[in-house]
Amino acid sequence: MTIPTTMKAAIVTAYGGAQMVEIQSRPVPAPREDEILIKTIVTTVNSGDARMRALDAPAGMKTLMRLAIGITRPRQPIFGTEIAGTVVAIGPKVARFAIGDDVIAFPGTGLRCHAEYVAVSERKPIVKKPQNLSFEEAAGLCFGGTTALHFLRKADLKPGEHILVIGASGAVGSAMAQLASHFGASVTAVTSAANADLALSLGADTVIDYATTDYTAVSSVYDVIADTVGAFDFQRCLKALKPGGRYLGIAGGIGDMLARPKDGKRPIAGMAAERPEDVAFLADLAAKGEYRALVDQVFSFADIARAHARVDSKRKRGSVVVRVAE
């Protein structure tokens, strides 16, 4: 296959709304010695991309966010953390992949996935795509799944424990509900009424409608509360946690990061790790049909700004997917 010298990439020209994203031409990256060059078939626009584009940081973290990603505009203007595609070139030291392999790659905070070609070190989280997954299903495997795995590991969730998953229809929450159930926990999902059946299909034992029920107004019910929405905080969830309980402030701001353990209960917050073994674990589970990354809507690459707008709605179910290859 001939690799062109230029490619289309979605460029975030400045912080702001979805209209800040436009397709421009950029050079195709040349793979370094430990890198594979992937032709992108499908990518996602996720909540991380939308937050960065809008400079929409969790409470108290806007300055930190600017320092991390660019003071006046994004330092890396090509967003996108995950792709499914085909290897079209490899560096001389690459051992794990060959030209022609279909792969799922998660450069994560390294970004650059909203482009027709992406060069990624083979040491990053990359796996061969399970054959039973479409490229659309494969592209959304990593962002929500690795975040859920990270926080479940930090919480040390045990079989038989009771977990409340707030926002069980989102990318992280739908992964959290499935994985917690897979690990043998009893799962109560918090969703809107419209997403109740979806949560049950993901393995939730019970569903609570957030519009009609104050689910924190209970005493000592949950071992773990996974808040993927930022609906509450550690303090507000203390009463609902059992002794030894853990609150996962996945969407949380500086308050959850600085919160101290209280009454034998503890808050867990911060950035999720991006580990190759977590992506391998998720791909293996998906290959066995025991885990699925939900696809919300599929957009064309030319429509990627509309994909950003869909994420901004905060109503998506699972991942918003963008088909890059024609």
Ligand X SMILES: NC(=O)c1ccc[n+]([C@@H]2O[C@H](COP(=O)([O-])OP(=O)(O)OC[C@H]3O[C@@H](n4cnc5c(N)ncnc54)[C@H](OP(=O)(O)O)[C@@H]3O)[C@@H](O)[C@H]2O)c1
Can you give the binding site for ligand X, defined by CB under 6 A? 46-48, 51, 144, 147, 166-167, 169-173, 190-192, 194-195, 210, 228-231, 250-251, 271-272, 311, 314-317
Between 213 and 235, CB nearer to ligand X:
213
Which residue lies nearer to ligand X by CB, 32 or 51? 51
Q: By CB neighbour count within 10 A (0-12 exposed, 13-18 middle, 19+ buried), where does 205 fall?
A: middle
Q: How far is the CB of 249 from ligand X (least distance, A)?
A: 8
Decide whether 262 or 314 has the Cβ nearer to ligand X.
314
**Residue 197 C-beta: closest distance to ligand X, Å:** 12
**Nearest alpha carbon to residue 81 among 169, 168, 172:** 172
- Give me the least distance between CB of 40 and ligand X, in Å please: 20
Q: Which is nearer to ligand X, 121 or 169 (CB)?
A: 169
In terms of DSSP bridges, do strands 35-45 and 83-90 run parallel, antiparallel, or are they unpaired? antiparallel
Q: How far is the CB of 177 from ligand X (least distance, A)?
A: 11
Q: 276-288 burial, b for 16+ CB within 10 Å, e for fewer?
A: bebbebbbebbbe
Q: Return the number of the residue (121 or 147) whose C-beta is nearest ligand X.
A: 147
Q: Could you give the CA distance from residue 4 to residue 210 in angstroms, rounded to a whole number?
A: 50
Taken in order 305, 306, 308, 309, is the CA torsion positive or negative?
Answer: positive
Instruction: Specify the residue for token string 């991380």.
Output: 48
Determine the residue with CB nearest ligand X. Answer: 170
Q: At closest approach, how far in Å is the CB of 11 from ligand X? A: 22
Given a contact cutoff of 8 angstroms between Cβ atoms, the answer to whether 147 and 269 are in contact is: no
Structure tokens at 287: 């290959």
The 3-state DSSP class for residue 82 equals: coil
Closest distance of CB 223 from ligand X, Å: 20
**Minimum CB distance to ligand X smaller for 31 or for 80:** 80
Give DSSP secondary structure letters for 208-242: EETTT--TTSSSS-EEEEEESS--S-HHHHTTTEE
Residue among 88 and 190 whose Cβ is closer to ligand X: 190
Pairing relationship of beta strands 162-166 and 186-191 according to DSSP bridges: parallel
Integer Rg of the chain from CA: 20
Q: How far is the CB of 272 from ligand X (least distance, A)?
A: 4
